[in-house]
Chains A and B, each alone.
Chain A
Amino acid sequence: MTSTIAAPRSPYARAPRKNGVNWEKWGWIYMRVSGVVLVVLIFGHLFVNLLVGEGVSALDFAFVAGKLSNPFWQWWDVSMLWLALIHGGNGMRTLVNDYATTRVARGILKSAILVAVVVLIVLGTLVVFTFDACPAGQPADLLPTFCQAL
Chain B
Amino acid sequence: MPQNSAETLTAKRKTASRRPAGTLYRGREGMWSWVLHRITGVAIFFFLLVHILDTALVRVSPEAYNAVISQYQTPLMGLGETALVAAIVFHAFNGLRIIAIDFWNAKYQRVLFYVVIGLWVITMIGFAPRHLINVFSH
Contact = CB atoms under 8 A, between A and B. Distances in A.
Given A50-B81, A56-B78, A61 B73 contact: no
Contacts of A61: 58, 62, 65-66, 69
A55 B41 CA distance: 24
A55 B136 CA distance: 12
A142 B58 CA distance: 12
Given A36-B99, A127-B58, A95 B38 contact: yes
Interface string B15-50: 000000000000000000000001001101100110
Given A39-B95, A51-B130, A135-B61, A120 B49 contact: yes
A130 B63 contact: no
Nearest to A8: B22
B96 A39 contact: yes
B4 to A, nearest CB: 30
Interface SS of chain B? helix
A88 B48 CA distance: 9
B131 interface: yes
A59 B38 contact: no
B131 A51 contact: yes
A38 B63 CA distance: 31
B52 A123 contact: yes
B59 A130 contact: yes
- Binding site secondary structure of chain A: helix
Interface residues of B, number: 39
B107 interface: no
B88 A142 contact: no
Interface string A40-78: 001100100011001111011110110010000000000
Given A39-B92, A88-B45, A46 B85 contact: yes
A43 B92 contact: yes
B134 interface: yes
A135 B62 contact: yes
B99 A50 contact: no
Interface of B: 38, 41-42, 44-45, 48-49, 52-53, 55-56, 58-59, 61-63, 65-66, 69-70, 72-73, 78, 81, 85, 88, 92, 95-96, 98-99, 102, 127, 130-131, 134-135, 137-138
